[in-house]
Amino acid sequence: MQTEIKTLQQGLDEAVSLIKNGEVVVFPTETVYGLGANALDSNAVRKIFEAKGRPSDNPLIAHIADISWIDRLAKDVSEEARAVIKEFMPGPITVILKKSDDVPDEVTACLDTVGVRFPKHKVAREFIKACGVPIAAPSANTSTKISPTTAEHVLEDMRGKVPLILQGGACEVGIESTIIDMTADVPTILRPGAITQEMLAQVLGKVKTFDGKIVVAKAPGMKYRHYAPSCEMVVAKSAESAVEEYRRQYKNKVGAVVIGKSNYLDGIEDVLRINFIDLGDSDAEAMRNIYAAMHKAQERYGCIICQDFGERGLGASIMNRINKASGGKRV
Ligand code: TXA
Ligand code: MG
């Protein structure tokens, strides 16, 4: 199969006819690129799992192009859930709701709930709207690989496995959506993201963060290793320990790279003599750039040494991904 990258203008008609014929299409969102199929067609949804090599007991998110579509996918939507939807959609959030009878088991992995997301990205919205059906989509990477934040990342990973990638440039948010379970007694964050606990608490009063003790897999990384670069990755607690680790790797003939925000790198003496990737000035920029930096680093280096972004706000969301990518290894 040939894989082509096309702009919305060049590729929209083809994308819509692929979806109508039960095939998959890759499309950009503001978080990461998604690998989409008609969420109401079980056979089409199965093709997502095939292309991704993903275990079919991991449920998919259904993407919509208008708030009104929620009632096609979900039932018994609470007032609290509606408040979250009103505040944050369209945007980088997925809301877990009780599923309607129209949603096939292939999407929800037989759960009685469904994850619903209304992306903000213009290309995503126009594509989904033109299809006229909700689009089930995981991130457009093969299972366990880093999520793609450019069309070129997707091509590198999925060439020959998908017919069409819609071009949408670099994703602005850069990590996957926040997932909040609105069917739990206390609304519970299953995966942190750009919509933070603090922001959700403003609307809900009370939210629970995932505490690591749930046994049933409810969000990625709890059961499957996720977001892993092909090289080693460690988190450095300080700029000094980053440099120490860099030297240790060098002695072992491993080319390493330090990645962090500008002010972190500024704290490294002689930074120009080491390999580094600058993630930008703010946590929002670091979040936007982190996956692209991991993609670049894994191609060139044997070890990624990454800044610790702390436990609060966007920093906590970035760390959630980094901890998984590094397997929790710290220096
Ligand atoms: O930003 C995103 O959310 C991206 C873009 C493409 O929208 N999508 C994404 O999908 O990250 P994926 O499949 O890589 O991660 C979605 C995760 C699933 O792995 C699953 O654990 C969780 O969402 N999920 C989906 N439906 C669920 C449900 N009903 N209950 C609990 N967790 C669910
Ligand atoms: Mg994923």
pLDDT of residue 211: 56
Give the span between the Cα atoms of 280 and 289, in whole angstroms. 8
pLDDT in tens, 277-290: 999 999 999 999 99
Closest-CA residue, ligand 1 atom 7, reads 34
Give the span between the Cα atoms of 13 and 262, in whole angstroms. 43
* 317 Cβ inside 6 Å of ligand 1: no
Model pTM score:
0.83
Q: 210 pLDDT band (50/70/90 cuts)?
A: low
What are the tokens at 186? 């206390």
pLDDT of residue 226: 60
pLDDT in tens, 169-185: 999 999 999 999 999 98
Residues with CB under 5 Å of ion ligand 2 are 139
* 26 Cβ inside 6 Å of ligand 1: no
- Peptide bond connecting 90 to the previous residue in cis, omega within 30 degrees of 0: yes
DSSP-derived letter for residue 159 is T
- Burial classification of residue 9, based on how many CB atoms lie within 10 Å of its CB (0-12 exposed, 13-18 middle, 19 or more buried): exposed
Residue 189 neighbours by CB under 8 Å, 6+ apart: 178, 179, 180, 181, 197, 200, 207, 208, 209, 210
Residue 279 neighbours by CB under 8 Å, 6+ apart: 259, 260, 261, 262, 285, 286, 289, 290, 293, 307
Mean pLDDT of 255-264: 95
Q: Are strands 93-99 and 74-75 parallel, antiparallel or unpaired?
A: antiparallel
Closest-CA residue, ligand 1 atom 12, reads 138
99 Cα nearest atom in ligand 1: 29
pLDDT of residue 222: 47
Which of 163, 154, 143, 114 has its CA nearest to residue 29? Answer: 154
Q: What is the DSSP string of 276-315?
A: EEE--SSHHHHHHHHHHHHHHHHHH-SEEEEE---SSHHH
Rounded to 10 degrees, the C-alpha dihedral 257/147/331/247 comes to -10
* 294 Cβ inside 6 Å of ligand 1: no
Residue 303 confidence (pLDDT) above 50: yes
Closest-CA residue, ligand 1 atom 20, reads 219
219 Cα nearest atom in ligand 1: 21
- The letter for the amino acid at 39 is A
Q: 207 pLDDT band (50/70/90 cuts)?
A: confident
140 Cα nearest atom in ligand 1: 6
* 138 Cβ inside 6 Å of ligand 1: yes
Q: 318 pLDDT band (50/70/90 cuts)?
A: very high
Whether residue 190 contacts residue 171, with contact meaning beta carbons closer than 8 Å, is answered with: no
pLDDT in tens, 106-142: 999 999 999 999 999 999 999 999 999 999 999 999 9
Residue 7 neighbours by CB under 8 Å, 6+ apart: 166, 167
Residue 216 confidence (pLDDT) above 50: no
Residue 301 confidence (pLDDT) above 90: yes
Q: What percent of the chain has pLDDT over 90?
A: 82
Mean pLDDT comparison of 236-240, 305-309, 322-326, highest-scoring range: 305-309
What's the mean pLDDT when you consider all of the chain?
A: 92
Residue 167 confidence (pLDDT) above 50: yes
Residue 316 confidence (pLDDT) above 90: yes
Alpha-helical segments (H) within 42-141: 42-52, 70-73, 79-88, 105-108, 122-131
Other C-beta atoms within 10 Å of 316: how many? 17
* 61 Cβ inside 6 Å of ligand 1: yes
pLDDT in tens, 10-67: 999 999 999 999 999 999 999 999 999 999 999 999 999 999 988 878 899 999 999 9
pLDDT of residue 223: 44
